[in-house]
Structure 1
Amino acid sequence: MITNTQNWQIQAEQCFIQENYLRAAELYEQAINIEPNTISYYWQLGLILLLQGKETEAFMTWMLPMTEVDEEQLQVWTNELFQFLLKEAERREKLTEYSIAWLIRQHMKEINPTDINNILNLILISIKLEKIEVIHELYEIGLIDCCKAREHTNINAELLIQVLQEVLNNLPLHPINVELADVCLPYFSNTYQCFDILLTAALKIGHTLLQPQLAASLLKLHLRLEPENVEILRHLATFYQDARNYSQGIETAKLCYSLSESLADKIFALHLMLRGLMSAGGYWQEICETCEKLETVCQQFIQAQPIALEEARILRLLTSSFAIPNIKDDPANFRLIHNKLAEIFTTDIQAFAESEGKKYLHTNIKNLPLVSSNNKIKIGYISYALRNHSVGWLARWLFQHHDQDKFDINTYIVNYKSIADYMQEWYVNHAGTTHKLGMNGLEIADKIYEDKIDILVDLDSITLDITSEVMALKPAPIQATWLGWDASGIPAIDYYIADPYVLPDDAQKYYTEKIWRLPQTYIAVDGFEVGVPTLRREDLNIPTNGVIYLSAQRGYKRHPETTRWQMQILKQVPESYFLIKGLAQEEAIKRFFYQIAEEEGVDSSRLRFLPQVYSESVHRANLGIADIVLDTYPYNGATTTLETLWMGIPLVTRVGEQFAARNSYTMMINAGITEGIAWTDAEYIEWGIRLGKDATLRQTVAGKLRQSRQTAPLWNGKQFTREMEKAYQEMWQRYNDKK
């Protein structure tokens, strides 16, 4: 029996805190019997019943004293109950008892469905508890409308922005996130807060989750607050281009350039312009003008050194060179500028890292052991492209055949994507010890350094700035570049892995890295998966006796001079047709080819533009429709060349001086054929005509390619792996000999 009000209340509170809910409930039931008009007893008893899992009884207990009161009193007591439950919910949140807090707030929502701050808190707790389906429901109960009606609500602005940030971090692809961000704009305390939250989310959505259009929609919102924010415009231009909205991407890049004041910003804006123009294809005069301007600004930047740059601008330096080898084959002059940029990049990155308390010891070999601790050479591979990407398809045979008894393989996947990707998962399961990493270069370098990697192999070169940053920090004593693009020119990289053919004999004079030539080929594969073709001649209105030429390259590689050669070939081969496939802006690329065809006297009805096929195996099967593949120059095919040769199709290539202009040459040599290798522009045309007119020659080449599958170095991944491993052992021995 209750005898002393103060004593029983203390006892009840202690039972409640100790979660002795049965005893606490008994005490409050007794109190209600004695003082049935004390409303707070009902609130407390209902809460206790709720925590016992008796939700219906709890709600009935709360409603019991309200059944016979007027509207005004009902509202007062409802508010009191809501505040009572709010206090308990906040207490539970401080104790990180989120499941209980969530349960209480759900009932608060039933009591007052329009309290927006409770809904915001429910969303936050639901995210912590990963109650994804509940978050979707909460979105649908008027959150957007409440935010729009700003003058009619008591929204806690700080809480709202926190919800936006958590939702973008945890549910970045939710269909109404852009709408939520839109209505949140007036609630940001300052423009930088908005910039930080929206840009961080957009980078994840656009680059990691591969939804560039959604990322662009999110970033566009910030322009309402800062229409001339160059950093936002840079990323916006990139996302437009990635979403193949080339026109808008090009115009946004041009706006970036017009707003850029520093030389570093101008360099990257010009790179973005080139990126868009070349991806779209067909804008050749503007491409050449932009390229010339880029080289001029790069030289001005080099001459103006030293220029202090923060991390973001440092990282952009090297990627600006990416487009130039697609435009001209002049490696000596190109690398003169690029290598100097790489030197500045390395110096600035290392200085930035030191300012962050990061310094690695691998520039001083005296501090390092002679051999790995487990007597295996520890090889580290770093790349963002170990997925459904050309690098991913080609590198896998090296991992497949590595000798695990002699080498400890560690793979560092940069910007790991938690989405379905067959090749990425293959690497996770087959590439030794695999590390799924983000986009923080310093953290990645720390991990590699802590793992005591002996030889770090970069598969990206300058195609990803983060990888370049890691290599510049020198987290491993020996560093090499292989496969990804061309040598990056970073002084912290020791070797560039090539072969006897892919670089000319005198190439060392314009490379800062030591060129390490493997004995036969710098790449080999055991083969490719081939699906069921979806292309047929009758569907393309091509007769059975017609000769089909094919070019299957992206817009970046479309060069007008090479296209002229291709049209001249077509003109000389009766009943011939040209199939054109590759990512580009459809109308622009058609104008590009139609104009050159007209100038060379070729009827445009002989051209066919093929849609993109998103299955790699079907793409390879469709190559089989071609009688001859015409390669691009000055940037050859690489993966496409390998696929063409694997499918037994004759190829015509023009050999140049730079790495990108000699890929097809080394692959053809290592597949055992020389037919189709041209050393001059005229030879390219001659081979194209000869192969088009001579069906017997085509059959001979196709037969050689079929036979080469059993004998040629290009198709022997195991032999290639042994040669790479021998190279690693010799690199390690040289390193130790220097000590």
Structure 2
Amino acid sequence: MITDIYNWQNQAEQYFIQEKYSQAAKLYEEAIAIEPNTISYYCHLGLLLLLQGQEAEAQMTWMLPMTEADEEQLEIWTNELFQFLQIEAERREIREEYSIAWLIRQHMREVNPIDINNLLHILQLCLKLEKFEEIKDLHEWGIIEILNEPESLNINSELLIQVLEEILNTAPLHAINLNLVEACLPYFSDTYQCFCLILTTAMTIGHTLRQPLLAAELLKLHLQLEPENVEILRHLAVFYQDARHYSQGIETAKLCYSLSEGLADKIFALHLLLRGLMSAGGYWQEICETCEELEGIYQEFIKAQPISLEEARILRLLTPSFAIPHIKDTPANFRAIHNKVAEIFNTDIQTLAKSQGKKYDAQEKKLKTPSKKLKIGYISYALRNHSVGWLARWLFQHHDQDKFDIHTYFVNYQLVDDFLQDWYVQKAGNAHKLGMNGLKIAEQIYQDEIDILIDLDSITLDITSEVMALKPAPIQVTWLGWDASGIPAIDYYIADPYVLPDDAQNYYTEKIWRLPQTYIAVDGFEVGVPTLRREDLNIPGDAVVYLSAQRGYKRHPETTKWQMQIIKQVPNSYFLIKGLSEEEAIKRFFYQIAEEEGVDCSRLRFLPQVSLESVHRANLGIADIVLDTYPYNGATTTLETLWMGIPLVTRVGEQFAARNSYTMMINAGVTQGIAWTDEEYIEWGVCLGKDASLRQQISWQLRQSRHTAPLWNGKQFTLEMENAYEQMWQRYVEEK
């Protein structure tokens, strides 16, 4: 029985601290019986009941004094209760008792459903407790409506922005509410803070989580604050293009170019424009004009040196070169420009690193004793469901890990459902799952004391180029990803006797290391069940079917003219066209050339994409002949075609990209279909179309070659690569 007010309250507090809630509650029940008009007793008793899981009883206790209160008393009572619960919620948050804090704040929401700061705290607790479905259902709380009427609110803007940042950084995609982001925009006093938050989140969503359209929608919100923010527009163009909204991507890239002032910014804006035009396919005149403009600005940039650039602009210098070999086959001229830009890139990256106290003395590393393993490092963002991922795997499969210490550096590692990436992690030796910070990646490689670092990306990823320019390993090599990057810090470029002409060393800065037979080999491909049938495409069973399966940016009008001339000369022939592109643009492109060459457009078929690589390969079997692209050949598609035993017609050029199919056919033991002139390409196409027995002979040769040809011998290829590594190291030792 309560006799001393001070003593019983002190005792109740002690019970509360000791979490003896029932004993404390009993004391407050007795106090209410003695002093029924003391509001604070009801606050405490309700809280104690709530902490014991008696939510209904707690609600009834808090409501009890309200039943007979007038309007003024009711407001005083609810405010007191709200403040009381808020103090306890904050205490629980400090103690990281988030579940209890969340429960208390939910009851605060019952007391005052429009207190915005409490709602923000609930959102924050939902994130900590991973109650993402509640975040998704923001409309039920009315929080967005409240934010959109700021004049009547006392919003803690700092808390609001903190909660928004936590939502964008931790919530799954389905819980990210763009309406909430838009409602928060007026509360950013610092536009740059908003820019950093939205761009960082969009990069993660668009690239790491592969949701480019959602990333684009997020970036568009920031344009409400800064409609001409070029950095936002750059990324917006990329995300539109990645989402195959090519028209929007092209228009955004054009806007970027119109707003760009410096030469480096103009170079990258033209890259974005070419990326969109070429991916869409069919915009050939505009592509050629843009490419010519790019080369001109590159020349201006070279002449204007030295130009002081920050890291982001330096990183953007090399990738735009990717477009040019798709348009023309003039490697000596191309590399004269590209190598100079790569030299500037290399110098600027190293200068930047030194200014930040980073310097790698890999060339000064202590030489190994002959008995120690060579440390081989591979770096790539593409060891996943990607052309590089499909082609590099046999080297990883057959590597002698008793003889070599293998390290693999996964740039921008993504936790996604990708069986090929998972396979590489298992086969990678020491797998390093890394982000997109070039300096940190280079530091990791340097600390691992890698002897030979192999770049599988070339200029297709700026971060990999940055790492190679920093020279974290004494010997650096480019293989597979594209052509040679031209970066002076790279020592060797892997080729073979065929993929580069004899005089290629005259215009390469890297030492060309020619493997004895082939620069690539695979043990084969997984092949699924075909989903294409001739009758489904309204093609007669006795027709001759030609196929071209390449992305839109490899579609050159001159090559397409040759292909139409072949179709025209082969009776009862059809041409199947497959590859990522803008459907209407690529149709216009092919229909126009077909009409110019006198080919009925009804003989053309445009095939849809399929989700599985194995089904794509199976569907190649519908073709009698595959017609390669030029001046940029197929690579993975050529290997798949040859593996499926399908005759191929290719035009051999001078640059690496124009000789891929040539070296692959030679290393598969087949020469029929290799053309050295435009006329020969047409002749081979017509010959193979009209001569069924020749097609059968080539198909038989290709199937037999699986047992004998270098192209299908991944184990022998791996031995030759390993031998090359040992010879490179021996040269390095002798030079030192």
How is 1:62-73 mapped onto 2 (pairs within 5 angstroms)?
A: 62-73=62-73
Alpha-carbon distance in 2 for matches of 1:732, 1:103: 64
- Does residue 702 (structure 1) correspond to residue 699 (structure 2)? The answer is yes
* Residue number in structure 2 paired with 1:415: 412
Could you say what secondary structure the match of 1:710 adopts?
A: coil
* Residue number in structure 1 paired with 2:273: 273
TM-superposed CA distance for 1:18, in Å, is 4.4
* Residue number in structure 2 paired with 1:111: 111
Are the equivalent residues in 1 in contact too, given 2:24–2:48 (CA < 8 A)? yes
- Does residue 285 (structure 1) correspond to residue 285 (structure 2)? The answer is yes
* Residue number in structure 1 paired with 2:465: 468
Alpha-carbon distance in 2 for matches of 1:730, 1:2: 92
TM-superposed CA distance for 1:306, in Å, is 0.9
Aligned residue type for 1:649: I
Aligned residue type for 1:637: G
How is 1:152-231 mapped onto 2 (pairs within 5 angstroms)?
A: 152-171=152-171, 173-174=173-174, 177-231=177-231
Could you say what secondary structure the match of 1:596 adopts?
A: helix
Could you say what secondary structure the match of 2:174 adopts?
A: coil
- Does residue 428 (structure 1) correspond to residue 402 (structure 2)? The answer is no
Aligned residue type for 1:411: T
TM-superposed CA distance for 1:303, in Å, is 0.9
**Greater displacement, 298-307 / 99-108:** 99-108
Are the equivalent residues in 2 in contact too, given 1:172–1:201 (CA < 8 A)? no
Alpha-carbon distance in 1 for matches of 2:727, 2:55: 72
* Residue number in structure 2 paired with 1:611: 608
- Does residue 141 (structure 1) correspond to residue 154 (structure 2)? The answer is no
Are the equivalent residues in 2 in contact too, given 1:119–1:138 (CA < 8 A)? no
* Residue number in structure 2 paired with 1:375: 372
Gaps spanning 5+ residues in structure 1: where? none
- Does residue 644 (structure 1) correspond to residue 647 (structure 2)? The answer is no
Alpha-carbon distance in 2 for matches of 1:450, 1:3: 73
Alpha-carbon distance in 1 for matches of 2:106, 2:405: 53
1:603–1:187 CA distance, 2 compared to 1 (3 A): same
Are the equivalent residues in 2 in contact too, given 1:123–1:138 (CA < 8 A)? no
Note the alpha carbon deviations across 1:212-249, whole angstroms, 9 max, x for none.
Answer: 11111111112222111111111111111111111111
- Does residue 583 (structure 1) correspond to residue 580 (structure 2)? The answer is yes
TM-superposed CA distance for 1:679, in Å, is 1.1
Aligned residue type for 1:452: E
Could you say what secondary structure the match of 2:707 adopts?
A: helix
Could you say what secondary structure the match of 2:325 adopts?
A: helix
Aligned residue type for 2:481: G
Alpha-carbon distance in 2 for matches of 1:115, 1:685: 75
Could you say what secondary structure the match of 2:401 adopts?
A: coil
Note the alpha carbon deviations across 1:480-518, whole angstroms, 9 max, x for none.
Answer: 111111111111112111111111111112111111111
CA RMSD of superposed structures (Å): 1.9
* Residue number in structure 1 paired with 2:730: 733
Identity of aligned residues (%): 78
* Residue number in structure 2 paired with 1:551: 548
* Residue number in structure 2 paired with 1:92: 92
Aligned residue type for 2:70: D
**TM-score (norm. length: structure 2):** 0.96
* Residue number in structure 1 paired with 2:502: 505
Alpha-carbon distance in 2 for matches of 1:167, 1:299: 45
Aligned residue type for 2:222: H
Note the alpha carbon deviations across 1:602-631, whole angstroms, 9 max, x for none.
Answer: 221211111112211111111101110000
* Residue number in structure 1 paired with 2:714: 717
**Greater displacement, 727-736 / 560-569:** 727-736
Aligned residue type for 1:223: L
TM-superposed CA distance for 1:133, in Å, is 2.7
Could you say what secondary structure the match of 1:629 adopts?
A: strand
Aligned residue type for 1:694: D
How is 1:505-544 mapped onto 2 (pairs within 5 angstroms)?
A: 505-544=502-541
TM-superposed CA distance for 1:177, in Å, is 2.0
Alpha-carbon distance in 1 for matches of 2:131, 2:426: 30
Are the equivalent residues in 1 in contact too, given 2:228–2:259 (CA < 8 A)? yes
Aligned residue type for 1:333: N
- Does residue 321 (structure 1) correspond to residue 321 (structure 2)? The answer is yes
Are the equivalent residues in 1 in contact too, given 2:2–2:31 (CA < 8 A)? yes
Are the equivalent residues in 2 in contact too, given 1:481–1:496 (CA < 8 A)? yes
TM-superposed CA distance for 1:161, in Å, is 2.0
Alpha-carbon distance in 2 for matches of 1:357, 1:10: 60
Alpha-carbon distance in 2 for matches of 1:352, 1:157: 37
Alpha-carbon distance in 2 for matches of 1:441, 1:521: 31
Alpha-carbon distance in 1 for matches of 2:453, 2:140: 50
Could you say what secondary structure the match of 1:74 adopts?
A: helix
Aligned residue type for 1:674: T
* Residue number in structure 2 paired with 1:235: 235
* Residue number in structure 2 paired with 1:43: 43
- Does residue 668 (structure 1) correspond to residue 665 (structure 2)? The answer is yes
**Greater displacement, 304-313 / 446-455:** 446-455
Could you say what secondary structure the match of 1:673 adopts?
A: coil
Could you say what secondary structure the match of 1:671 adopts?
A: coil
**TM-score (norm. length: structure 1):** 0.96
Aligned residue type for 2:204: K
Tell me the number of residue pairs that the alignment of Structure 1 and Structure 2 aligns. Answer: 736
Aligned residue type for 2:409: Y
Gaps spanning 5+ residues in structure 2: where? none
Alpha-carbon distance in 1 for matches of 2:45, 2:18: 15
Note the alpha carbon deviations across 1:249-291, whole angstroms, 9 max, x for none.
Answer: 1111111111111000000011111111111111111111111
* Residue number in structure 1 paired with 2:347: 347
Alpha-carbon distance in 1 for matches of 2:60, 2:376: 67
* Residue number in structure 1 paired with 2:247: 247
TM-superposed CA distance for 1:151, in Å, is 2.8
Alpha-carbon distance in 2 for matches of 1:120, 1:586: 45
Alpha-carbon distance in 1 for matches of 2:369, 2:114: 68
Aligned residue type for 2:122: L
Aligned residue type for 2:240: Y
Are the equivalent residues in 2 in contact too, given 1:253–1:270 (CA < 8 A)? yes
TM-superposed CA distance for 1:138, in Å, is 4.3
Are the equivalent residues in 1 in contact too, given 2:132–2:172 (CA < 8 A)? no
- Does residue 401 (structure 1) correspond to residue 398 (structure 2)? The answer is yes
Aligned residue type for 1:567: M
TM-superposed CA distance for 1:2, in Å, is 4.8
TM-superposed CA distance for 1:577, in Å, is 1.1
Are the equivalent residues in 1 in contact too, given 2:168–2:176 (CA < 8 A)? no
**Greater displacement, 261-270 / 58-67:** 58-67
Of residues 381, 384, 389 in structure 2, which corresponds to 1:384? Answer: 381
Aligned residue type for 1:453: I
Alpha-carbon distance in 2 for matches of 1:10, 1:379: 70
TM-superposed CA distance for 1:425, in Å, is 1.7
Are the equivalent residues in 2 in contact too, given 1:168–1:177 (CA < 8 A)? no
Alpha-carbon distance in 2 for matches of 1:682, 1:37: 103
Alpha-carbon distance in 1 for matches of 2:714, 2:170: 41
TM-superposed CA distance for 1:110, in Å, is 2.4
**Greater displacement, 111-120 / 203-212:** 111-120
Alpha-carbon distance in 2 for matches of 1:407, 1:456: 13
TM-superposed CA distance for 1:338, in Å, is 0.9
Alpha-carbon distance in 2 for matches of 1:383, 1:591: 37
TM-superposed CA distance for 1:29, in Å, is 4.1
Alpha-carbon distance in 2 for matches of 1:617, 1:648: 15
Are the equivalent residues in 2 in contact too, given 1:360–1:473 (CA < 8 A)? yes
- Does residue 486 (structure 1) correspond to residue 483 (structure 2)? The answer is yes
Alpha-carbon distance in 2 for matches of 1:139, 1:465: 41
TM-superposed CA distance for 1:590, in Å, is 1.3
TM-superposed CA distance for 1:419, in Å, is 2.0
1:175–1:60 CA distance, 2 compared to 1 (3 A): closer
* Residue number in structure 1 paired with 2:456: 459
* Residue number in structure 2 paired with 1:123: 123
Are the equivalent residues in 2 in contact too, given 1:471–1:479 (CA < 8 A)? yes
Are the equivalent residues in 2 in contact too, given 1:89–1:101 (CA < 8 A)? yes
**Greater displacement, 73-82 / 623-632:** 73-82
TM-superposed CA distance for 1:545, in Å, is 1.6
Note the alpha carbon deviations across 1:305-330, whole angstroms, 9 max, x for none.
Answer: 11111111111001110110100111
